[in-house]
């Protein structure tokens, strides 16, 4: 579908702000699934392994990616997981059947290994408790094992496992996707809401400082979406800090304009956020609460689910290759548009985790015993994690629209900007969904005079279906942008077709 003519425009004005950029927006996710843990972050015997068995190449890429928070150990996996299997002497740990992914779980890597890894990676852990097959006691036990200093059975058990000081884990998810019939221990909203409320109470009795995330719908497409959030929050509103959202998107061959529809997927993500905010606020109003609940978008990404046969048909295997999608330039542009959508809602979305970190639909890929490399989607995430600082400015991009079947008319350009008060630096992130030609983006800087461009990066504009691989790890990378011009208070930047652009502006010295 051809786009209409016309320049795109944004106005940057420090008087209009959405809210502070919470660093937890740059989260990721490590699940015991496929090769995310085994031969992903953990591979004793790999030439780059640390003494603990962590892949140091993956640790370095994780730091470069700028991930701040990592959710663990699932995902669907957590709904059948016994955390006790993964602590204590490795030789005594049981091998179990992971029913979620039909995988053989050796438990060689468990809680303390993950928390050590998180320390080495410099990320905050976000732990999920099993509310599928387990309940209040096990959830409280896990908080005691992790956070109680000593002198109780489980804190002393931790100390016998060589961890003297408490891990002090603050962020906790109350189960995972229990609205989904595929989930081991699937529940109705009332069953889950009651259980989550009681687990929350017990966990907070052990450690009142923890922050809790109630499980929202596994997707906006779920038939129970909305009703699930409403009922769950009726039970948990005053006991939790966040409600979760999960969403995955892909290009659909059956669409009349597959690329145009896919490039517009962030419109759905924004609608999802706004609908969950509305639902949570409606419950808050009904309960007469002054509290405003925040959102944890703790699974989001591109995922070509149509290529996955489904967990039920998998043969039992140990650390199999599951959903190792090769991402392209287009996927990176779409990921960029998701990051814009998340930042634009920084007033309510306080946590976001791209799912997952390594190998599983991930920005980082590895080969067992071999190299690691960055997928194209690595780059927009790293840009935003590095440069989005301070406050999100309320920018209202105006641009030509193109028609879509799924979302109606969609803007060819989307953009968001942040302003760091201390340095006066501005970062602007933009996607161009148009496919025909460069489109000039005119940035009105009247309210921020004296800024100059210090960096201009572009990913896309060409080789839309190119991917990276072990053999060609840097085929898709960001390149320096050029062609920006200044006229009075207006900076004009050309946005190539189907592209992601980062513009960093700083006060003139």
Active site residues: 177, 299
3-class DSSP state of 60: helix
Mark the segment that binds ligand AHR (CB under 6 A) among 72-80, 265-273, 455-463, 475-483.
Answer: 72-80
The least distance separating ligand AHR from the CB of residue 298, rounded to whole angstroms, comes to: 9
Instruction: Check if the beta carbon of residue 501 is closer than 8 Å to that of residue 458.
Output: yes
Q: Is 367 exposed, middle or buried (0-12, 13-18, 19+ CB in 10 A)?
A: middle
- Nearer to ligand AHR among residue 353 and residue 476 (C-beta): 353
Provide the minimum distance between the beta carbon of 246 and ligand AHR in the complex, in angstroms, as a whole number. Answer: 6
Residue 74 interacts with ligand AHR (CB under 6 A): yes or no? yes
Q: Which of 40, 75, 110, 496 binds ligand AHR (CB under 6 A)?
A: 75
Residues 116-133: b if buried by 16+ CB within 10 A, e if exposed? bbbebbebbbbbbbbbbe
Query: Which one of 138, 141, 177, 229 is in contact with ligand AHR (CB under 6 A)?
Result: 177
Which 370-399 positions form the footprint of ligand AHR (CB under 6 A)?
none
Q: How far is the CB of 292 from ligand AHR (least distance, A)?
A: 26
Write the DSSP string, 451-488. EEEEEEEEEESS-TT-B--SSSTTSS--EE----EEET
**Least spacing, CB of residue 39 vs ligand AHR, in Å:** 17
Footprint of ligand AHR on 254-313 (CB under 6 A): 299
In DSSP notation, 323-361 reads --PPPBHHHHHHHHHHHHHHHHTTTTEEEEEEE-SBSSS
Degrees to nearest 5, angle at CA 81 with 80 and 82: 125
Rounded Cα gap, residues 164 and 133, in angstroms = 30
DSSP tag of 5: P
CB of 176 to ligand AHR, least distance (A): 5
Question: Segment contacting ligand AHR (CB under 6 A): 17-25, 68-76, 107-115, 334-342?
Answer: 68-76
Structure tokens at 308: 């996955």
- Nearer of residues 147 and 176 to ligand AHR, judged by Cβ: 176
Q: Closest distance between ligand AHR and the C-beta of residue 363, in Å? A: 14
**Secondary element (H or E) of residue 419:** strand 413-420
Question: First CA to last CA across the chain, in angstroms?
Answer: 45
Structure tokens at 508: 């003139």
Q: Which is nearer to ligand AHR, 141 or 177 (CB)?
A: 177
Single out the residue of 147, 218, 244, 375 in contact with ligand AHR (rule: CB under 6 A): 218
Alpha helices of 54-104 — where are they, by DSSP H?
Answer: 56-65
- The SS3 assignment for 376 reads coil
- The neighbouring-strand residues paired with 17 are 393
Is 356 a binding residue for ligand AHR by CB under 6 A? The answer is yes
**Phi, psi at 379, each rounded to 5°:** -70, -50
Site string for ligand AHR, 30-49 (x = CB under 6 A): -x-x----------------
Distance separating alpha carbons of residues 46 and 237, to the nearest angstrom: 46
Is 179 one of the binding residues for ligand AHR (CB under 6 A)? no
Smaller CB separation from ligand AHR, 181 or 208:
181
**How many residues interact with ligand AHR (rule CB under 6 A)?**
12
Q: Which stretch binds ligand AHR (CB under 6 A): 73-81, 206-214, 305-313, 419-427?
A: 73-81
Cβ distance to ligand AHR smaller for residue 16 or 182: 182
Does position 216 interact with ligand AHR (CB under 6 A)? The reply is: no
Residue nearest to ligand AHR (CB): 75
10 Å Cβ neighbour count for 87? 21
> How near is the Cβ of 477 to ligand AHR at its closest, in Å?
26
From the list 170, 266, 267, 180, the residue with the least C-alpha distance to 215 is 180
| Contact flags string 106-145 toward ligand AHR, x per CB under 6 A | ----------------------------------------
Q: Between residues 105 and 299, which has the closer beta carbon with respect to ligand AHR?
A: 299
- One DSSP character per residue, 232-249 reads HHHHHTTT-SEEEEEEEE
d(CA 19, CA 346): 6
- What's the length of the chain? 509
Question: With binding defined as CB under 6 A, does residue 355 bind ligand AHR?
Answer: yes
The region of 4-12, 71-79, 225-233, 333-341 touching ligand AHR under the rule CB under 6 A is 71-79
Find the shortest distance in angstroms from Cβ 188 to ligand AHR. 18
Binding site for ligand AHR (CB under 6 A): 31, 33, 74-76, 176-177, 218, 246, 299, 355-356
């Amino acid at each position: 579908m051809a786009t209409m003519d016309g320049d795109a425009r944004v106005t940057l004005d420090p008087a209009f702000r959405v809210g502070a950029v919470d660093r937890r927006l740059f989260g990721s996710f490590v699940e015991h699934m496929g090769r995310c843990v085994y031969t992903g972050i953990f591979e004793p015997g790999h030439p780059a392994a640390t003494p603990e068995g962590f892949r140091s190449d993956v640790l370095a890429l994780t730091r470069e990616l700028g991930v701040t928070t990592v959710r663990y150990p699932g995902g669907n996996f957590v709904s059948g997981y016994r955390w006790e299997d993964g602590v204590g002497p490795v030789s005594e740990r049981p091998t179990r059947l992971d029913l979620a992914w039909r995988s053989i779980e050796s438990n060689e890597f468990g809680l303390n290994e993950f928390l050590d890894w998180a320390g080495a990676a410099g990320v905050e852990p976000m732990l999920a408790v099993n509310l599928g097959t387990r309940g209040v006691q096990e959830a409280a036990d896990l908080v005691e094992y992790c956070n109680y200093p000593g002198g109780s059975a489980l804190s002393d058990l931790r100390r016998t496992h060589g961890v003297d000081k408490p891990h002090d884990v603050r962020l906790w998810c109350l189960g995972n996707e229990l609205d989904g019939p595929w989930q081991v221990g699937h529940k109705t909203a009332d069953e889950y809401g009651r259980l989550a409320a009681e687990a929350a109470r017990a966990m907070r009795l052990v450690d009142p400082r923890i922050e809790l995330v109630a499980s929202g719908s596994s997707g906006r497409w779920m038939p129970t979406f909305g009703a699930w959030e409403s009922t769950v929050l009726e039970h948990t509103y005053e006991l939790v800090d966040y409600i979760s959202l999960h969403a995955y998107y892909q290009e659909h061959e059956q669409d009349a304009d597959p690329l145009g529809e896919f490039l517009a997927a962030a419109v759905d993500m924004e609608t999802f956020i706004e609908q969950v905010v509305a639902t949570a606020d409606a419950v808050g109003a009904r309960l007469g609460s002054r509290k405003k609940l925040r959102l944890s978008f703790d699974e989001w990404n591109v995922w070509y689910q149509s290529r996955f046969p489904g967990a039920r048909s998998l043969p039992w295997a140990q650390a199999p290759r599951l959903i190792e999608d090769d991402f392209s330039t287009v996927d990176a542009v779409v990921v960029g548009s998701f990051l814009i959508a998340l930042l634009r809602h920084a007033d309510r979305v306080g946590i976001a985790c791209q799912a997952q970190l390594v190998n599983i639909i991930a920005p980082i890929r590895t080969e067992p015993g071999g190299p690691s490399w960055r997928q194209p989607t690595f780059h927009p995430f790293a840009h935003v994690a590095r440069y989005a600082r301070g406050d999100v400015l309320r920018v209202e991009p105006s641009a030509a629209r193109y028609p879509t079947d799924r979302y109606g008319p969609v803007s060819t350009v989307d953009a968001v900007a942040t302003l760091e008060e201390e340095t006066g630096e501005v970062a602007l992130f933009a996607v161009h969904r148009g496919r025909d030609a460069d489109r000039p983006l005119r940035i009105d800087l009247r309210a921020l005079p004296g800024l100059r461009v210090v960096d201009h990066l572009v990913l896309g504009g060409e080789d839309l279906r190119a991917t990276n691989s072990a053999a060609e790890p840097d085929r898709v990378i960001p390149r320096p942008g050029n062609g920006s011009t200044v006229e009075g208070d207006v900076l004009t930047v050309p946005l190539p077709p189907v592209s992601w652009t980062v513009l960093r502006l700083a006060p003139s010295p």
